[in-house]
Amino acid sequence: MIKKIPGESWKPLMFPGWKELRKKYALSSTGRVASYYEDIYTDGKLLNGSVTTGYKTLNLHRPGNNGTLYLHREIARMFIKRNSSKQKYVIHLNHNKTDNSVKNLKWVSLDDMISHQQKSPAKLAYKKIQSTKPVGLKLTAAQVRSIKKTLSSRSRQLTIKKLADKYGVSEMTMYRIKSGENWSRV
């Protein structure tokens, strides 16, 4: 038996093969998931699901499709309207991947998702640690200043590949330095 939460609404979870399963499944606007036979409140059972890369998931062995359902995506699909066809990604507004309540989810475009991820407290903490890391770096601040000067020069003769080889780093590192993703503090 499941207790009601004021303001919570439930919707049946429908996916390819759902009719062949013994139980029915439903998702709530507060992010809860339940299995039931006839009625959620009388014979329903709350499920914890699993956690995959930080996101709550439900692993259902469906006929012909043993797959994982990401609960935040399913809840957004069922409860939140998309304003544009470009909105293909679901973000957690408070950056807590396990808080799947409707008020914490939002459909966004790829650019908006990337921008949101860059503001994550975990990402900001990681950048702070990396910026003060004294050892284990392939480049020094002086080398990065030289690289940035070379990359911004209009008369540059070295290709990015040759510049990467010169400093013993990957081309991707050079592109990240150029865009400011890496070493922005120098």
Residue with tokens 């014979």: 43
63 pLDDT above the threshold of 70: no
Query: What is the rounded CA–CA span in Å between residue 95 and residue 186?
Result: 28
Of the ranges 57-71, 81-95, 99-113, 161-175, which one carries the lowest mean pLDDT score?
Answer: 57-71
Lookup: tokens for 168: 């013993």
| CATH code assigned to 10-120 | 3.90.75.20
Query: What is the rounded CA–CA span in Å between residue 176 and residue 122?
Result: 20
The helix, strand and coil proportions of the chain, stated in percent and rounded to the nearest 5, come to: 35, 20, 40
Lookup: tokens for 133: 């890391």
Tens-digit pLDDT profile for residues 2-25: 888 999 999 998 877 777 788 899
Q: What is the pTM of this model?
A: 0.70
- Measured in degrees and rounded to the nearest 5, phi and psi for residue 15 equal -150, 165
Tens-digit pLDDT profile for residues 143-152: 999 999 999 9
Query: What is the rounded CA–CA span in Å between residue 34 and residue 44?
Result: 6
Query: What is the rounded CA–CA span in Å between residue 18 and residue 174?
Result: 49
Percent of the chain at pLDDT exceeding 70: 95
Q: Residue 60's beta-bridge partner residues?
A: 67
Going by C-alpha positions, the residue among 84, 78, 73, 70 that lies closest to residue 28 is 78
Q: Residue 33's beta-bridge partner residues?
A: 27, 47
Q: Where are the domains of the chain?
A: 10-120, 131-179
Query: What is the rounded CA–CA span in Å between residue 24 and residue 185?
Result: 53
Query: What is the rounded CA–CA span in Å between residue 40 and residue 19?
Result: 17
One-letter identity of residue 35: S
